Amino acid sequence: MKIENVALIGYGYWGKKIYKYLKESSQFHLAYVFFPSLKKLSPDMIAQTYGPEFTANIDDVWNDKGVSHVIIATPINTHVDVVTEALCHGKNILVEKPLAVIGHEAQSIVEQAKTRGLILETEYTYTYSQGLQAAQNMILQGMIGDVQSISISLKQLGRFLPYDVYLLLGSHALSILDIFLPLENLTFSSDSFLVTEGVPTAAVIHYQSKQNSCRGTIEINLHCPQKDRKVIIYGEKGTIIYAPDQKDVLTLTLYKRTRFSLDKEIIEKQQTFQFDENNNLKNALENFYHVIQRNRPSNSARAVSINTVLDILRPKGDSLSS
């Protein structure tokens, strides 16, 4: 196995998580960690306090021809600029979601990557979930029949940032939905029912298939003290429930739609499945490695689709949208 040299750009909340997995990786060698907060320290002090891979000079990353790949974990509104700079220096990229704030910016940098023959992958953590991949396989095998509706709920307390709930949680929810129902085949509307200092912090998203009667809702909320993550997939023959915070991550229930019967009387089969849902970020890094090796396609089309839908859902007056 070829070990790839990689640089991590950003060492905040998410960057620290990525750093942990990179240090444990057998596929990547972490050559640099760009952490601009260290600018007041000397290189010797940085190396002594944090480690030899840490730097406060981004040019160390850009100018090193031996480092062909970067992982970007910087604030959302910096993604386009940092990605563009990385592409200009010939780097393959894994960037934290979403790819951009505005749809046309996402499309632009994807086209730049294609023109330069470089990889641009957006890290949508749930799309690397073993549980959701298993659910997708169940549907492809026809176990619950045609999908009639999918309900997605992502609720947590905070983080209250300049970014709205659509960028923070909506992008995750759309990436989940896209696994089962391609976003380009759906129409969308939204209702922001909680707004904090002008920023939407809780919302309901409605979608409808352009091809059939399939429809559903997504609830995203930053005001829920009890974290809640759940996907319910309703099919003609049964239901699949994905609950990553539970011991049984996936529950498959097949049942008859018999009048006047309840619960156990109509259940024909029920099966639960357990998966490791705590290391999906590790799965994302492993996937990036395979994309670099050209063994798998990048998810650039998905990233653009998500940004396109976010443009529809987000209030036009949002300062980050202009």
Q: What is the DSSP letter of 10?
A: -
Average pLDDT across the chain, whole number? 95
- pLDDT by residue (tens digit) across 244-263? 999 999 999 999 887 766 77
Rounded Cα distance between 13 and 16, Å, is 6
- pLDDT by residue (tens digit) across 3-15? 999 999 999 999 9
Rounded to an integer, the average pLDDT of 174-201 is 97
Give the count of beta carbons closer than 10 Å to the beta carbon of residue 28.
22
AA identity, residue 192? S
Rounded Cα distance between 67 and 292, Å, is 13
Q: Are 316 and 195 in contact (CB under 8 A)?
A: no
Q: What is the pLDDT of residue 320?
A: 60
pTM confidence score: 0.95
Rounded Cα distance between 191 and 315, Å, is 10
Element of type H or E holding 292? helix 280-292
Confidence of residue 318 (pLDDT cuts 50, 70, 90): low
Q: What is the pLDDT of residue 265?
A: 79
Q: What is the pLDDT of residue 322?
A: 44
Rounded Cα distance between 79 and 77, Å, is 6
Q: What is the pLDDT of residue 161?
A: 82
Rounded to an integer, the average pLDDT of 266-276 is 95
CA angle 100, 104, 105 (to 5 degrees): 40
Q: In order of start, what are the domains of the chain with their CATH numbers?
A: 4-126+296-321 (3.40.50.720), 130-276 (3.30.360.10)
